[in-house]
Amino acid sequence: MKLTEIKEHMQKTIDATQRSFNTIRTGRASTSLLDRVVVEYYGTETPLQALANITTPDSTTISIQPYDKSSMAQIEKAISMSDIGLTPNNDGTTIRLNIPPLTKERRKELVKIASKLAEEGKVGIRNIRRDAVESVRKQEKNSDISEDESRDLQDEIQKITNEFTNKIDSLLATKDKEITTV
């Protein structure tokens, strides 16, 4: 496994963690809250973004305008069944989601959720490190590289790992600040 491959894998983990962070409510309306909502549409699981125009007319409202008006009931049901905790309001042409201000307790819960997602990202990075170090040790055992080269590569892999775990920590700090800012 090359160092560039390791960095690419770790960057993908960072990107996945960032996408997970985007789905956490911060008290402000964001269309990314609906990224994980999937609608049963004509017997097929379809992402909500494919079925409707999603906008944020103001900081406390998400507006959903289905391309096909007959899908309103399915979209409403999917939002209600999802884990975002918002109740859809249907006026016949548009579904509105009002984002209530977060309570202190809810903010604490969201910070815990963000911390858990960050820890999952770090575990992913450590797994990539483990696989890379095993690969280097196997190369050393097969006499493909020397013991010194092996040690140098393992040190470099650890430096890369530290760099990427620090990136996750900074993403978490940013999300933490976003959540706790009233």
Inter-residue contact 52 to 66 (CB < 8 Å): yes
pLDDT per position as a tens digit, 103-133: 888 888 889 989 999 999 999 999 999 999 9
Which domain-ending residue is among 66, 98, 130?
Answer: 98
Helix (H) or strand (E) holding 88: strand 88-90
Q: What does DSSP assign to residue 70?
A: G
- In angstroms, rounded to a whole number, what is the distance separating the alpha carbons of residues 182 and 166? 26
What gap in Å lies between CA 7 and CA 74, rounded to an integer? 41
Stretch (H or E) spanning 6: helix 3-22
Residues 45 and 89 in one domain: yes
Looking up residue 79, the CATH number of its domain turns out to be: 3.30.1360.40
For residues 127 and 162, state if they share a domain: yes
Residue 62 sits in the same domain as residue 39: yes
Mean pLDDT across 80-104 = 85
Res 182 pLDDT > 70: no
172 phi and psi, to 5 degrees? -65, -45
The confidence score (pLDDT) of residue 181 equals 80
Q: Of 98, 126, 149, which residue constitutes the final position of a domain?
A: 98
**Could you count the other beta carbons within 10 Å of the beta carbon of residue 29?**
20
Task: Determine if the pTM surpasses 0.75.
Answer: no
| Predicted pLDDT at 121 | 95
Of 95, 98, 100, 51, nearest to 76 (Cα)? 95
Claim to verify: residue 108 and residue 172 sit in the same structural domain:
yes
Q: What is the pLDDT of residue 30?
A: 80
Total domains present in the chain: 2
Average pLDDT, the chain: 89
What is the structure's pLDDT at 129?
Answer: 95
CATH number for position 162? 1.10.132.20
Query: What b/e string do you get for 103-124 counting C-beta neighbours within 10 Å, with b at 16 or more?
Result: eeeebeebbebbeebbeebbeb
Q: Which range of residues forms the domain containing residue 70?
A: 31-98
- Give residue 72's identity as a one-letter amino acid code: M
When pLDDT is cut at 50, 70 and 90, the band that residue 13 belongs to is very high
